[in-house]
Amino acid sequence: MRVNLDAGCPTAALPSIFQLWPNLPALANTTAMPASRSRSAASETPADAAAPRARERRQRVQSAVTGMAVLKGLARLGGRASLTALAAHIDESPAKVHRYLVSLLEEGLVAQESGTQQYHLGYEALQIGMAAMRQADPIRLAEASLVRLRETLEVTCFVAVMGNKGPTIMRFEEPGLPVTVNVRAGSVMPLLWSATGRVFLGLLDETRVQEQAKEELAQAGAARLASLDRDDPIGALRRAVQADDCAWVRDTNLTGISAVAAPVRDYTGRVCAVLTALGATGGFDPAIDGPIGTAVRHEARVISAALGFNQEAGR
């Protein structure tokens, strides 16, 4: 705007004219842009600004998922594999997997052998695994399974470990109407006559376990001996447990009491505990493929998986 002071423009008008000057560009833009378009542009600005951030977050999350898939794939292949085998296992292109392996190499989660060019889990991955193993307590991890068995099946159940005197109950759960049995946390179960002991006997190849079973056999009465194989009593029990991967008894340890038990395995596949359910023989079905036996075996697998045991790989 041009003001001609010589033309006699009143000085009183000058402030209002110059106060308008800073707003003139905005006024010009307003007149040049339709109001609807102006409102639309203003309303789209926050969304337009947020969209790149949202895409970036999704990309970061997707990258983390792919990186974890590479690590888990390497672990499931035994901790060592070629680029081609790893890419095929996780169903990604070798080029994409290689990009992630480079980053994992830099972080020490993966290492590569110079001779074979195979990738394997690195030092940092081993540290993570060791920290997880230190927290893997079968007794603590069995607590939820014991509660589920007690509440859904209304049975007495417990978890036992192999102690220096034999299978020892560590955690014991009873339903609202418990079965009267003289076993509690701290009780030691026999190897030959209890379902719990038979699982340890059949699946642990330890000299002390076999020696203890022989001692029990030597002290057994005629009635108990009659329930075992005449030619190879201990060997036959072991083979039966190994074939079924669990054990059951009816009135062999306690008169009127039946039980079914399943192994809990650690990340190496070794039996570190046994999960057992028991009840009065008249109303308790100890069959391994019955409702109780199926539930016990399932919960034992759940605990084993939490301890790092890979059921499919058998280790």
**pLDDT classification of 64: cutoffs 50, 70, 90:** confident
For residue 125, give both structure tokens. 């991955």
Q: How far, in Å, CA of 120 to CA of 102, rounded?
A: 13
- Structural domains in the chain, sorted by start: 36-132 (1.10.10.10), 136-306 (3.30.450.40)
For residue 310, give both structure tokens. 């890979």
Can you state the percent helix, strand and coil of the chain, rounding each to 5?
55, 15, 30
Q: What is the pLDDT of residue 250?
A: 93
As a whole number, the mean pLDDT across the chain is 82
User: Which of 52-56, 107-111, 195-199 is the least confident region?
Assistant: 52-56
Q: What is the pLDDT of residue 148?
A: 95
Of 39 and 66, which is predicted with more confidence? 66
Q: What is the pLDDT of residue 260?
A: 97
Tell me the mean pLDDT in the region 117-132. Answer: 86
Tell me the mean pLDDT in the region 26-52. Answer: 49
Tell me the mean pLDDT in the region 244-266. Answer: 93
**What is the value of pTM for the model shown?**
0.64
- Measured CA to CA in angstroms, residue 205 lies from 81, 118, 309 at distances of 31, 34, 18
Amino acid residing at 314:
G
For residue 176, give both structure tokens. 């609202």
Tell me the mean pLDDT in the region 200-225. Answer: 93
Q: What is the pLDDT of residue 245?
A: 96
**pLDDT classification of 92: cutoffs 50, 70, 90:** very high
Q: What is the pLDDT of residue 118?
A: 94
Q: What is the pLDDT of residue 169?
A: 95
The answer, yes or no, to whether residue 35 has pLDDT greater than 50, is no
Q: What is the pLDDT of residue 1?
A: 44
Q: What is the tens place of the pLDDT at every residue in 153-193?
A: 999 999 999 998 899 999 999 887 666 677 778 899 999 99
Q: How far, in Å, CA of 54 to CA of 76, rounded?
A: 33
CB 307 within 8 A of CB 136: yes
Q: What is the pLDDT of residue 267?
A: 86
Nearest to 139 by CA among 115, 159, 109: 159
**pLDDT classification of 48: cutoffs 50, 70, 90:** low
**pLDDT classification of 313: cutoffs 50, 70, 90:** low
* Residue pointed to by tokens 């920290």: 131
The answer, yes or no, to whether residue 30 has pLDDT greater than 70, is no
